[in-house]
């Protein structure tokens, strides 16, 4: 009799120790995927792995400490996954630094940190994944951005700029990586409860749980072919509409809403 081994698929989730990344790891494990989580803080990562270990007896969770702002660490992590675990079917580039600016001060240090992690760090992950995925001409890279990147908002310059950059690079690479057999997607969540949003002091309309985000991300990555994954839909449609308003009207409305 011929036994055909059905190889499990593998997802690498950066920032898998908490929030959206952790909930998405849980979802993919439940769906029978092997999951590799990574994050910068080893203690958080170990705790997260422990919680995920008994979810499935079919699929397996692995953890590798990786600070995405360190290019060598990122390259080593991707090499380790592909040589010791499996080829990577999906790279979910979810890790990000966040520090809400409560004032309109221009804090260059905050810009530098967010550029290093959110922009440069995500680019290092894209580079390492591309070098591996192009060997088999197969793979998916999903970049977690934010609707804050759709348009400039008061006090959100540093974080918003990095997220705008990620949407733009995802659009560019959608074209450029076709020849390598690599599909690019971008994920733009509304407000989701997490360690990061717990720092916010402003009202967060339509805030959802990380579990809700994970369901939407799983559907978007595995069951659809759409380039952009957005949720919750109604709130995101409003934000998307804001994107096409002429500047005069946009500035007027945002000033009225925020008082800034
Ligand atoms: N929550 C929302 O409402 C919302 C909305 C739109 C977009 N997003 C985006 O969704 C993603 C996840 O956000 P979240 O709210 O779930 O955040 P979170 O709970 O604060 O989690 C952030 C994750 O990123 C990791 N991380 C931070 N700096 C890192 C670095 N230098 N290298 C590797 N890992 C690092 C953290 O790991 P450590 O354990 O090492 O700290 C943690 O696992 C982010 O890209 C965020 O911008 C979130």
40 close to ligand 1 (CB < 6 Angstrom): yes
Q: How far is the CA of 15 from the centre of ligand 1 (A)?
A: 5
Mean predicted lDDT score pLDDT of the chain: 95
Task: Report, as an integer, the average pLDDT of 26-48.
Answer: 98
Number of C-beta neighbours around residue 5 at 10 A: 5
Walk me through the domains of the chain, giving residue ranges and CATH numbers.
10-258 (3.40.50.720)
Residues of the chain with pLDDT > 90, as a percent, come to 92
Tens digit of each residue's pLDDT (9 = 90 or more) over 32-42: 999 999 999 99
**Cα of 70 from ligand 1 centre, angstroms:** 16
Going from the Cα of 192 to the center of ligand 1, the distance in angstroms, rounded, reads: 11
Per-residue b or e along 164-195, where b marks 16 or more CB atoms closer than 10 Å to that residue's CB: bbbbebbeebbeebeebebbbbbbbbbbbbbe
Q: Does the beta carbon of 63 sit less than 6 angstroms from any atom of ligand 1?
A: no
* Mutate-to-test residue for ligand 1 from 45, 95, 113, 156, highest number of ligand atoms within 8 A of CB: 95
Kindly give the distance from the C-alpha atom of residue 19 to the centroid of ligand 1, in angstroms, as a whole number. 7
Peptide bond into 232 cis (omega under 30): yes
Say what the pLDDT of residue 2 is. 42
CA distances from 70 to 18, 88, 116, 129, 211 (A): 20, 20, 9, 15, 29
Q: Give yes or no for residue 5 having a pLDDT over 80.
A: no
Residue ID of nearest Cα to ligand 1 atom 25: 15
Q: Under a CB-based contact definition with an 8 Å cutoff, are residues 184 and 174 in contact?
A: yes
CB neighbour class for 54 (10 Å; exposed up to 12, middle 13-18, buried from 19)? exposed
Which residue's alpha carbon is nearest to atom 34 within ligand 1? 39
Ligand 1 lined by 146 (C-beta under 6 Å):
yes
Q: Is 41 in the pocket of ligand 1 (CB under 6 A)?
A: yes
* Averaged pLDDT for residues 5-34: 94
For ligand 1, the distance from its centroid to the CA atom of residue 22, given in whole angstroms, is 10
Task: Report whether 218 contacts 24 (CB < 8 A).
Answer: yes
Q: Is the pLDDT of residue 207 over 90?
A: yes
Q: How many helices (H) and strands (E) does the chain have?
A: 9, 7
Four-residue CA torsion sign, 202, 204, 208, 213 = negative
The whole-number pLDDT of residue 6 equals: 58
**Per-residue pLDDT at 104:** 85
C-alpha to C-alpha distance for 125 and 120, rounded to whole angstroms? 9
Contact present, 161 and 204 (Cβ < 8 Å): no
Residue range 224-236: average pLDDT? 98
Q: Is residue 7's pLDDT more than 70?
A: yes
> What pLDDT does 3 receive?
45
pLDDT digits (tens, 9 = 90+) for 85-144: 999 999 999 999 998 877 889 999 999 999 999 999 999 999 999 999 999 999 999 999
Among 60-74, 92-106, 146-160, 174-188, the range scoring the smallest mean pLDDT is: 92-106
Longest dimension (CA), the chain: 72
Cβ of 67 closer than 6 Å to ligand 1, yes or no, is: yes
Tell me how far apart the alpha carbons of residues 169 and 76 are, in angstroms, rounded to a whole number.
Answer: 23
d(CA 18, CA 177): 30
Q: What is the pLDDT of residue 35?
A: 98
Q: What is the rounded average pLDDT of the residues 209-233?
A: 98
Quick one: average pLDDT of 71-82?
98
């Amino acid at each position: 009799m011929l036994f055909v081994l059905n190889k499990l698929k593998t997802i690498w989730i950066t920032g898998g120790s908490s929030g959206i990344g952790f909930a998405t790891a849980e979802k993919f494990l439940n769906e029978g995927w092997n999951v590799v989580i990574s994050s910068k803080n080893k203690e958080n990562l170990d705790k997260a792995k422990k919680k995920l270990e008994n979810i499935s007896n079919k699929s397996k969770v692995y953890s590798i400490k990786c600070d995405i702002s360190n290019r060598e660490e990122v390259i080593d992590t991707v090499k380790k996954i592909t040589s010791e675990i499996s080829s990577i079917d999906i790279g979910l580039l979810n890790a990000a630094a966040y520090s809400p600016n409560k004032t309109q001060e221009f804090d260059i240090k905050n810009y530098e940190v967010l550029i290093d992690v959110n922009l440069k760090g995500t680019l290092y992950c894209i580079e390492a994944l591309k070098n591996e995925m192009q060997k088999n001409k197969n793979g998916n890279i999903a970049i977690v951005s934010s609707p804050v990147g759709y348009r400039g908002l008061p006090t959100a310059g540093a974080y918003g700029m990095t997220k705008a950059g990620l949407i733009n690079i995802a659009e560019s690479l959608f074209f450029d990586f076709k020849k390598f057999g690599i599909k690019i997607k971008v994920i733009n969540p509304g407000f989701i409860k997490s360690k990061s949003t717990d720092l916010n002091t402003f009202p967060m309309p339509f805030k959802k749980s990380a579990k809700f985000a994970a369901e939407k991300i799983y559907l978007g990555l595995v069951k659809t072919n759409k380039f952009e994954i957005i949720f919750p839909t109604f709130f995101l449609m409003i934000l998307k509409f804001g994107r096409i308003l002429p500047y005069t009207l946009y500035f007027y409305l945002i000033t009225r809403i925020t008082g800034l």
